[in-house]
Amino acid sequence: MSLFVASRSALRAAAPLKRQFQVRRYATEPTSADPKKGSNTLLYGTAAAALAGVGYYFLGGTPAAKKAEEKVKDAAGAAAEKLPTVEAKAALTGGDQGWVSLKLEEVEIVNHNSKRFRFRLPEDDMVSGLHVASAILTKYKGPEAEKPVIRPYTPISDEDTKGYLDLLVKKYPNGPMSTHLHDMVPGQRLDVKGPIPKYPWSANKHNHIALIAGGTGITPMFQLCRAIFNNPDDQTKVTLVFGNISEDDILLKHELATLENHYPRRFRAFYVLDTPPKEWTGGRGYINKELLKTVLPEPKTDNIKLFVCGPPGMMDSISGNKKSPKDQGELKGILKELGYTPEQVYKF
Ligand SMILES: Cc1cc2nc3c(=O)[nH]c(=O)nc-3n(C[C@H](O)[C@H](O)[C@H](O)COP(=O)(O)OP(=O)(O)OC[C@H]3O[C@@H](n4cnc5c(N)ncnc54)[C@H](O)[C@@H]3O)c2cc1C
C-alpha cells in the first residue's frame, strides 16, 4: 500500500518520464503499474541473476524489448520536436539571489519514514532552474537554535516541470531538517537556495554509468536517470545497485521497475536488503564486493562513470567519503580494491 502511494506521487512528479509512459499507456499498461506483481518479479529475478554471476546482461535484450524501446524513443522524439524552444523562467537562479521562500502545497506519506513534499514555485510558469545533476539547499532555524541548519536535497520532480518542485525526504530521529520538514503542514514556507551544481550531465557523456545508492541516496541517481531516459538522443547504459534496510524502504521502486521494463537493454537494477523478507531472492546484507564485481562494468571498460550516494557508513565501505562538498576525497574501499580510478568515480 505505502509503496503504491510512493509510486503514484513520484510518477506525478516526474513529468517527462510520465509523458513517455503515457505514450505507451495508450497501447498497453506497463507491467510495473501493478505494485504487487511486476516490480517484485523483476527485482527478485534481476538480483538473483546478478548474484548467480550471469554475465553481461545488456547484450540480452529480446527483439520485442528492442522494438518496445524504439517505439517509446520514436514517440518521445516526436513529442520533443513539438515542444516550444522558449526558455522558461527559473525560480532558482543561484549567484547572489539568496534564499527563496517556497510555500508547501501538499504532503504525501510515502512509507513509514518518508514523505513527498510539493512546494509551489513563486510563479506558476516558472521551472525550478535546476540542471542535471544539481541539488537545492534548504534552511531552517528552530525557535531555540542559535544557528540555522542547512541541508541539501535533490528534487524528484522534473527539471522542466512548471509551477512546483517535489522533494522526497526520509525522517531521521533527531535530524533537525528532516524532522522539521516532516512536521510541516501545507501553507507553511521553507527557504531554499540553488541550484547547487553537482556533476553536469550531457547526452552520451559516458557510454555506461553505474549508480550505487543507499536509501535516499537514490534521489540524485533518479535525477540522472530522468535526464538520460527522457532524452531520445541519449543512449547511455545504466546499472543501478540500490541498498536498503527493508523492502518497504525502497523508494521510487515502481519508477525504477518501469525503467527496467521500458529499457531492458539499457537499464538494470540490483537490489540489496539488510533485513529482507523470507522470500527475498535479491542481495542480502550490505552492498558488497562480490555483487559489485559481478554487476558493474569492468574498470578497463571504455568511458564509464560510477556514481555513489548514501549514508556515511556505506560511502566509507564503497568509495570513501567526500572530504567536503567541493573535495571528492581519496578513492577508497571496494571500488578502489576492484581497480577503479578516482576519475571513474563521482561521490554525490
Ligand atoms: C547532494 C545531496 C542530496 C540529498 N538529497 C536528499 C533527498 O532527496 N532526500 C533526503 O531525504 N535526503 C537527502 N539528502 C540528505 C539530506 O541532506 C540530510 O542529510 C538528511 O535529510 C538528514 O538531515 P537532518 O538535518 O534531518 O539530520 P542530520 O542531523 O544531518 O543527520 C541525521 C542522521 O544521519 C546520520 N548522519 C548524518 N551525517 C552523518 C555523518 N557525517 N556521520 C555519521 N552519520 C551521519 C546520523 O545517523 C544522523 O542521526 C541529500 C544529501 C546530499 C549530500
Residue 168: name the closest of 135, 141, 145 by CA.
135
* φ, ψ of residue 223 in degrees (nearest 5): -60, -45
Instruction: Name the domain count of the chain.
Output: 3
Q: Is the CB of 169 under 6 A from ligand 1?
A: yes
In this structure, what C-alpha cell is assigned to residue 47? 538480483
Within a domain: residue 343? yes
Q: Is residue 90 part of a domain?
A: no
226 and 193, same domain (yes or no): no
Q: Is 193 helix (H, G, I), strand (E, B) or coil?
A: strand
DSSP, collapsed to helix, strand or coil, labels residue 92 as coil
The answer to whether residues 155 and 136 touch, using CB atoms and an 8 Å cutoff, is yes
- Residue after which a domain boundary falls, among 148, 164, 197: 197
**Chain position carrying cell 557510454:** 207
Q: Which domain holds residue 298?
A: 208-347
How far apart are alpha carbons 229 and 209 in whole angstroms? 13
CB 243 within 8 A of CB 287: yes
Pairwise CA distance, residues 174 & 328, whole Å: 27
Ligand 1 atom closest to residue 176's alpha carbon, by position in its atom list: 25
Q: What is the mean pLDDT of residues 40-51?
A: 41
216 and 335 co-located in one domain:
yes
Query: Given a cut of 70, is residue 14 above it in pLDDT?
Result: no
Beta carbons of 151 and 8 less than 8 angstroms apart: no
Please check whether residue 315 lies inside any domain of the structure. Answer: yes
Q: Which residue has the higher pLDDT, 115 or 67?
A: 115
Q: How far is the CA of 41 from the centre of ligand 1 (A)?
A: 31
Let me know if residue 77 belongs to a domain. yes
Minimum-distance ligand 1 atom for the alpha carbon of 153: 5
CATH of the domain at 318: 3.40.50.80
* pLDDT in the model for residue 178: 98
Q: Is 42 annotated as a binding residue?
A: no
User: Which residues, listed in sequence order, are joined to residue 108 by a DSSP beta bridge?
Assistant: 116
- Prior bond of 155 cis (ω within 30°): no
The residue whose CA is least distant from atom 38 of ligand 1 is: 312
- Out of 2-6, 43-47, 83-87, which region has the weakest mean confidence (pLDDT)? 2-6
Report whether 219 belongs to an annotated binding site.
Answer: yes
Together in a domain, 286 and 306 = yes
Phi and psi angles of residue 244, each rounded to the nearest 5 degrees, phi first: -145, 170
46 Cβ closer than 6 Å to some ligand 1 atom: no
Q: Is 94 inside any structural domain?
A: no
221 is in an annotated binding site: no
What are the pLDDT digits (tens) for 247-268?
Answer: 999 999 999 999 999 999 999 9
What single DSSP character describes residue 33?
G
Mean pLDDT lowest among 8-17, 157-166, 266-275: 8-17
Share of the chain above pLDDT 90, in %: 73
Taking only the tens place, the pLDDT of each residue in 55-79 is: 334 444 455 555 655 655 555 555 5
Residues 339 and 229 in one domain: yes
- Is the C-beta atom of 312 inside 6 A of ligand 1? yes
So what's the pLDDT on residue 300?
98
- What is the pLDDT, as a whole number, of residue 87? 78
Is the pLDDT score of 136 beyond 60? yes
- The whole-number average pLDDT for the span 264-277 is 97
Partners of 213 in the beta sheet? 242, 309
Instruction: Say which CATH number the domain at 127 has.
Output: 2.40.30.10
Last residue of a domain, one of 197, 231, 249: 197
Range name among 54-58, 131-135, 266-270, 278-282 with the lowest pLDDT average = 54-58
Query: pTM of this prediction?
Result: 0.80
Q: Locate the ligand 1 atom nearest the alpha carbon of residue 170 and give its number.
A: 11
